[in-house]
Amino acid sequence: MMDVTEHYDPDFIYTDGTSDQPFSGNGTGTGFKANAMQIVIADFYNRSIQRRGMVNTFSIVKFRHNTNGTVNTEEFGIPEKINSKEPWIAETPVGDWFYAPDFTYNSGMMIKYIIEAIARDGNAAICISLLPDGSIILP
SS3 82: coil
Give bridge partners of residue 70 from the DSSP assignment. 59
88-112 burial code (b ≥16 CB/10 A, e <16): bbbbbbbbeeeeeeeeeeeeeeeee
Strand extents, DSSP E, the chain: 12-15, 58-61, 70-75, 88-93, 123-127
Question: Position 45: which residue type?
Answer: Y
What is the average pLDDT value for the chain, to the nearest integer?
79
Per-residue pLDDT reduced to its tens digit, 12-23: 887 776 555 656
Per-residue pLDDT reduced to its tens digit, 51-86: 999 988 877 766 555 555 566 777 777 878 887 877
Most confident of 22-36, 56-70, 94-108, 116-130: 116-130
Report whether pLDDT(121) > 80: yes
SS3 138: coil
Find the mean pLDDT for residues 93-97: 79
The pLDDT score that the predictor gives to residue 91 is: 86
Split at pLDDT 50, 70, 90, the class of 96 is confident
